Structure 1
């Protein structure tokens, strides 16, 4: 068995396991399918992932790109095996990863090249009822085994379902597909509308009712929101720490690191830039101003979108001095769909598909703009779009000469570490409009440090939801709306919040090491290209890559 054949086998297996994501990626082999929640099928998938990893470990003497491919292949396969065996995230009751989210979010990003592909999606639509029935059965089994969701996550899911069920057909994600020219669009849409009315919406309503009847009574209360309160929670969280950071660090060590950054290291910057921006000399005074000055809020969705598009355009014009490699794919800026926006984060990025049929897409959450702090958003734009995720994810999608799975690998510590590194890089590039916007950059950094504290606090140290909210309220100037959304995200997506700061710190360490060892020969373009032109990889592999480049 060759490495290339194992990589191909993994790519098809992971897309079969995640058929809605496969379609978003431009892989159309599974367009008529939805994930199964049958235990026998899940066991078979875990066995296939394990078999690929076992075969990859037997391959001798690999170097260079082949070594990276094998290591990443083993890492991803072993991660899927553990995810499936631990059950908790296979059918998460969560507004970001839940079965309903895969439908509502992924479907909106679908593109097709042929009517055969479009018709296959109708086949998928027809299976939504059985899909949600089986998902609820799996979730009820989890709850009966002592693995119920947190009430905070469940409430966000119910809110999303209510938003979808109250929305009109003109904004229904299942009816947004752009069909090939010359096709019988009327007939396709007529059948799609029938499926939405007769299958999908009734199934969503039934799923909602099932969650309220069977799951809500046993959901974990806000004072027991973390994984530590469920059987095996400590082991689940240890796996998630490694999954999202590739590090074997105890939760307490990560917690203490976050405390140091959030409560000590950032304080000097608050005072220094706060003095320049407002003439205020302490962190507390700066926070007071940022919290209470209405001129620092947005007023409309259009103002938010204009602000984002201007920042993205300005960043694109500045990249030549900092990057050798630049993506060909354009970056669109669009609002988060209204039905899901109340439970979603401030922004996120969607990688372009294999066939290039859709650009990279920066989704900006414009829900309640009057409660969103303008000073935070330039750093968000630079993180999610340029030079952040549009560079790392679109460059990865455009790579040639490596297995396809590496172009779409979800290695969070690398990708989210790059996103957070990009916020500070944007300051070096001269992209921030003012010192007030630089305060947003510091706020974002403090926020990611706070995530180390809050995520570990919730899932390993017994913190309540309110403790997590209070900590971020005390040590960051982020608005309450965003803090509540974010804390509920950390509750539902345990461990993922650790990837940002841990990844950023490693990238900054690698850059400092390269600058020290290379001196005047250090090339910032070359350094950034090494970070971005191999696809995402676990942090130890990233360190090896930079070390080889230095040498």
Structure 2
């Protein structure tokens, strides 16, 4: 066997040497431009193979994401436990790909290949930099975490398929992985307690009911029994009984004990030891950690102080525009009284969740008909409007978007939180629909998945500053689309923009300037008409996700800046539809890479 391998190796080397010799002889007869073109082509092919291999290899660390995007071979796996060995394995993985990427000659790349190189190089460097911060000690919060994703999967209302007998078996295996992972989460959070790296108390307290909700006395009352309630008709009676027994045992013997253990840990250990402060600046090495979060989320080189000042100016500007609306509708009181009027008057709110959902479905039809005015591209996938599931509604955002299945089997979902109808005023209908659906998140994310020329890591990757910046920029297109003709709907647009402006102030206030949770709540109530429950959820979100909330306004500013640049540079040649295509057609990009790409495009249009 060894001799056979050696023979193959020698033959391979001789063949390679022969090929090199032939190439050298042939190259004598080729012009220099052809040689350069061949080299560039080879480098591009190497790059394309590398990024595809990187994407496929990286799925091992994200089996839940793999299910979302349709790689069914991961449907029986859960996120790996939080251990020092697993973190070291991931770091080695990223460093290895960084070295392999650096070995390629960037100068030989252009077009999509160059963008892919620049994106992956930046992503790998930033990911490796992040390993110096102990984020694994804060593995979950009230807003996010694999525990909520798992519950969604188990409800049979998310991406986890329950069509075949194997699908049902896959979820059982995935659930067993969840139990192991959850135990490691508790260990990591205990280590966080020991090292003083813990969630603020209000956030920790919001976690407890998320786990207690799954502690049931009979399997039939569990969310995870939902797949059994909808067993496919083609299953045999024996199969149905087997699965019923298996799921009942899974729930009562494994999941309920795991949720009970975690609930007890939170109640008796974690919450009593959670912290009174809220900012990252109060954690060990917290200042540097927050600066990293700014860079990670915004892709821009801005300091916390700079962002804070930008936010204060924007809040002031938008307040003045709100005063104009107040005068337009004939309200005689102060702006603060106008806010109270908008918060408390029943005329601005729906009576039932069903009315709220129906209103957004009607707005969907209105907007879909107008989008072609500003766009010459649109995703093939449609989207539906749904209420946020009850188990996560109390802590969930007011609205959100979930991308469609790449294979077309599942539409995009525009989620509306119906938990508190007073947090969903009628005047937000148009602006929120634009942001979350068309031409906001749904356009950008669904299109990104559908562009054939994009490598997988770009189709299914993204940047908060691009996605949220685009969605907020999309809101600014409302008047150009013939919307916001009602002054209250225009106020809704201003209200949403004010929310994003306040985020600049609050995020930096909490994590850089020592603001308290109550200080943030008071600031939002004074500068908006938002309901207290909505304000509280927003404030706690910024505390949980440092840097994320900065992305909206900063991303919008950059996209608008690029539009202004193109308009000035191209003059009469400027086409708004083509500009939007150029922004969207290459998927989400870090802002510096997007800016360089747009300026290269402008040079070709002159």
Q: TM-score range by the shorter chain?
A: over 0.9
CA deviations 1:371-411 (Å, max 9, x no partner) are: 53222343112111111111001001111012111011120
Alignment of 1:94-109 (within 5 A): 94-105=141-152, 107=154, 108-109=157-158
- 1:49 match: 94
* Alignment gaps of 5+ in structure 1: none
Q: Are 1:28 and 2:72 matched, yes or no?
A: yes
C-alpha displacement of 1:111? 4.0
The alignment covers a number of residue pairs equal to: 548
One of 81, 99, 102 as aligned partner of 2:128: 81
Alignment of 1:294-373 (within 5 A): 294-373=346-425
TM-score normalised by structure 1 residue count: 0.94
Alignment of 1:365-444 (within 5 A): 365-432=417-484, 434-444=486-496
Higher relative CO (Cα under 8 Å, sequence separation at least 6) belongs to 1
Contact 1:251 1:456 in 2 (8 A): yes
* Alignment gaps of 5+ in structure 2: 1-42
One of 193, 201, 208 as aligned partner of 2:263: 208
Shifted more, 187-196 versus 434-443: the winner is 187-196
CA deviations 1:97-153 (Å, max 9, x no partner) are: 224223224554224375434422221112332221111101111221221111122
Q: Are 1:110 and 2:159 matched, yes or no?
A: yes
Q: Are 1:540 and 2:592 matched, yes or no?
A: yes
Shifted more, 381-390 versus 21-30: the winner is 21-30
- 2:84 match: 39
Aligned partners of 2:253 and 2:287: how far apart in 1? 43
C-alpha displacement of 1:260? 0.7
Contact 1:351 1:360 in 2 (8 A): yes
Aligned partners of 2:290 and 2:65: how far apart in 1? 25
Q: Are 1:129 and 2:174 matched, yes or no?
A: no
CA deviations 1:15-71 (Å, max 9, x no partner) are: 221222221221223222222211111111121012212322332122211111112
C-alpha displacement of 1:421? 0.9
Structure 2 CA distance for partners of 1:432 and 1:104, relative to 1, 3 Å: farther
3-state SS of paired residue (1:126):
helix
3-state SS of paired residue (1:333):
strand
3-state SS of paired residue (2:415):
strand
- 2:548 match: 496
- 2:575 match: 523
Contact 1:83 1:90 in 2 (8 A): no
Contact 1:371 1:481 in 2 (8 A): yes
Alignment of 1:442-481 (within 5 A): 442-481=494-533
C-alpha displacement of 1:522? 1.4
3-state SS of paired residue (2:72):
coil
Alignment of 1:176-195 (within 5 A): 176=227, 182-183=234-235, 186=240, 187-188=242-243, 190-195=245-250
Contact 1:72 1:537 in 2 (8 A): yes
Q: Are 1:65 and 2:118 matched, yes or no?
A: no
Contact 1:271 1:283 in 2 (8 A): yes
- 1:92 match: 139
Structure 2 CA distance for partners of 1:169 and 1:358, relative to 1, 3 Å: farther
Flag the structure with larger Rg.
2
Q: Are 1:252 and 2:292 matched, yes or no?
A: no
Aligned partners of 2:499 and 2:412: how far apart in 1? 26
C-alpha displacement of 1:96? 2.4
The Cα RMSD (Å) is: 2.3
- 1:12 match: 56
Aligned partners of 1:189 and 1:503: how far apart in 2? 49
Q: Are 1:218 and 2:262 matched, yes or no?
A: no
C-alpha displacement of 1:452? 0.6
Alignment of 1:505-516 (within 5 A): 505-516=557-568
One of 198, 201, 209 as aligned partner of 1:148: 198
Aligned partners of 1:75 and 1:156: how far apart in 2? 35
Alignment of 1:219-238 (within 5 A): 219-221=274-276, 224-238=277-291
Structure 2 CA distance for partners of 1:545 and 1:483, relative to 1, 3 Å: same
TM-score normalised by structure 2 residue count: 0.86
